[in-house]
Chain A
Amino acid sequence: AQTVTQSQPEMSVQEAETVTLSCTYDTSESDYYLFWYKQPPSRQMILVIRQEAYKQQNATENRFSVNFQKAAKSFSLKISDSQLGDAAMYFCAYRSGGGGSQGNLIFGKGTKLSVKP
């Protein structure tokens, strides 16, 4: 079974600085997708960024980018120019490229990010 591990329960960053959140996963599959979700105090789960495993190029969405290392099964999230609104729980998630229950999202335990003014 696939697993997702986020080894940093909590992280802190100064406003305008850069922070990197770590995520590793375990799978024997070659076709899969990876995601980062943000959960602010409002509890809403918000998709931040996604990466297809077959793409070598790292995904980027404005201030958010990933470092996808397929061989190492690592998928870290870099937040540049951190803003107060970035404070939230961040979840790394894996999804198989296949269907059925294997195709559903498998989440890590999350990293709580604090942003200091």
Chain B
Amino acid sequence: DSGVTQTPKHLITATGQRVTLRCSPRSGDLSVYWYQQSLDQGLQFLIQYYNGEERAKGNILERFSAQQFPDLHSELNLSSLELGDSALYFCASSVAPHPGQGAYGYTFGSGTRLTVV
């Protein structure tokens, strides 16, 4: 157990639907990162939050949004789902507000497998 909890582990939904993925960071970590892992695109950075505020954005679609709550858990909302959104979505956390502080990688959760049918 890495200490980063992601729910649900699996999600199957239809095109056009909306889903919410949840992430609880490791205790003491203030930063949360979301990554998408698909077969053709590999691991892509989506978005980062630090202590409730958006810190950095990557290749996140406008149909996707995220937020981090006062208790530091984060949710990734995916709407108007398309077949191509099927992927493994990872959450990771770190203690630092930005990765430049310290030579530490992130602690990853076990991911949510999203299948859009």
**A interface residues (Cβ-Cβ under 8 A, vs B):** 31, 33, 35, 37, 42-47, 50, 52, 91, 93, 95-101, 103-110
Chain A binding site: helix, strand, loop or mixed by DSSP? mixed
**B interface residues (Cβ-Cβ under 8 A, vs A):** 2, 33, 35, 42-43, 45, 48, 55-58, 88, 90, 92, 97-100, 103-108, 110-111, 113
A110 touches B103 (CB 8 A): no
B88 touches A50 (CB 8 A): no
Going nearest first, the 10 A-B pairs with the smallest beta carbon separation are A99-B98, A45-B108, A103-B99, A101-B56, A107-B43, A104-B45, A47-B105, A52-B103, A35-B105, A99-B100
Our count of residue pairs bridging A and B at CB distance below 8 angstroms stands at: 73
Task: Note all chain A residues with C-beta closer than 8 A to B42.
Answer: 107-110
Which of B90, B100, B107 counts the most A-chain CB atoms under 10 A from its CB?
B100
**Given A100-B56, A104-B58, A43 and B88 touching (CB < 8 A)?**
yes
CB nearest to A100 among chain B residues: B56
